[in-house]
Structure formats: C-alpha cells, structure tokens
Amino acid sequence: MTVTYKTIGATVLVAAVMIPASLRGQAAPEVFTATAAVKGAGGAAASAPVTITIDRKMSQKEADSLAAAFKTGGAAALRKGLAGVAPTGTVKIGAGKPTPTRFTLERATADGRLLTMLTDQPLLFIGAGVPGAKPKAGYDFAVIDIEVDGKGSGSGTIAPAAKIKMNQGAFVVEDYGVELVRLTAVKKTK
C-alpha cells in the first residue's frame, strides 16, 4: 500500500497564486521544532526530532515559474527548475545534516497559517530496508506541511521521500513509505 495525500488547499505548487502579498517575504528567519512520528501496521513505532528553518518564502514570480514548469514537463521539469532556486530554508531530521528546502509557501488558514516546503532530494526512505521494498526511483522530493496558529504551535505531515504527480488538475504527493509520518508538537522557537 502506498500513502497518497493531497496537501491542504488545492495544490502544493499553485497555491502561491492565492497568497496575499502581506504573507510573502519576511525579515527574519523562523525556526520550528517538531517530532516526526510513524506507526507501522504491526505496531512498531519510531520518532525523531525535526527542525525546520524558513529563511524566506517564495516570491509570486518564482512560484508561478515552478508551477508552469511542472504543468508542462512534470516532475523532471520541476526538478530542473528547482536546481537554480536559492534555498528557502532547511529541514533536519534528528542529528542528520540539514537539507535545503527549495520551495516554501505560506497560506492563511482560519486559525493561523499553513507552510508547505519542498526539497529537491529525498530525506529518508522509510521501509527501504525491508524484504520486498519497492524501488526508490522517482521519489526525488520531500514535502513538509505544517499548520500553525498565531502563537506558532501546531501539527503537520512530512513525506520524506515523495513523488509529485498531477491527478485531475490537482497536485498530489505520493510518499514512498506505507504509513503517514505525522509532525506533532510543532512549535516556533525563533
């Protein structure tokens, strides 16, 4: 079984069109901490601390360019387009090395905001070491969604190795792992 989920809102990439100008850009970096937790069907569970740093959010021009690339050339074109994009921040799992995010969007929600980040490389292949694991090919991205309130607290999800596809005009994130990785205890620390 493959975990497939749509990000909150209509799309991962086209959401930038709906972002008010007041939400794009920022003066100082933001840092969020969280716990990534996953439970397997057999009852096994794992967790790790996650640190997300947001140095900047996408400009409308950058987001439109990347969305257009994906619409015309799929994931390969998105990957090529991200190659020249300056990092928007980083994501770090446990004591691992920080991985640059290349795409960061912010949308207003009823209680605060939704932040969607994308890396141009996978962070981790959950389940890759088990017998009969599926091939890693095509899982070239990682997608992180966190929804935080006005005080910076919230929750989210992370697809540490993901494919991005189009399905009936909407962007869909397909995670390599079988189980959804939840981000709990999300807290803005800076």
Residue 46 near residue 37, CB atoms below 8 Å: yes
Task: Give the C-alpha separation, 102 to 55, whole Å.
Answer: 11
Residue 111 near residue 64, CB atoms below 8 Å: no
**CB pairs under 8 A, 24+ apart, for 1-4?**
1/178, 2/174, 2/175, 2/176, 2/178, 3/159, 3/174, 3/175, 3/177, 3/178, 3/179, 3/180, 4/172, 4/173, 4/174, 4/175
99-125 pLDDT, tens digit each: 999 999 998 999 999 999 999 999 999
139-182 pLDDT, tens digit each: 999 999 999 999 999 999 999 999 988 776 667 899 999 888 99
Q: What is the pTM of this model?
A: 0.82
